[in-house]
Amino acid sequence: MVGANDVVNPAAREKGNPLSGMPILQADRARSVLILKRSLAPGFSGVDNPLFYQEKTMMVFGDAKELLQKVVRQLKAS
C-alpha cells in the first residue's frame, strides 16, 4: 500500500492528538513495512509517526515517486 505519513500513522487510534479518530491504512499491522520518505519530519498534522520506529519498519530516504520508479525498473529487468 502507498499512503501519506498521516494516513498510515497509528497515533490516529489514540485520543488527544490532531489525528484522533481519522481513518488510516493499518500499515502497522503488516509483517514488514517499507517507508519512502524525504526526512523524518512529521506529516501535515505535526504528529510523530511511531510506525517509523518499529523493528519491522525499513526506511529509505528520497523522493517516493523516483524511488518507486527505480524499484519497478529493477523488477522488470530481473
Residue with C-alpha cell 515517486? 65
CA 39 vs CA 5, 42, 45, 77: distances in Å: 11, 9, 15, 29
CATH class of 5-77: alpha beta
Distances (CA, A) of 7 to 21, 50, 77, 78: 11, 13, 32, 32
Candidates 6, 28, 48, 63; catalytic one: 6
For this structure, is 48 an active site residue?
no
Q: What is the pLDDT of residues 40-73, one digit of tens each?
A: 888 889 999 999 999 999 999 999 899 999 989 9
Cα distances from 62 to residues 31, 35, 70, in angstroms, run 23, 10, 11
Domain ranges of the chain: 5-77
Q: Considering the entire predicted model, what is its pTM?
A: 0.80
Q: What is the pLDDT of residues 28-37, one digit of tens each?
A: 999 999 999 9
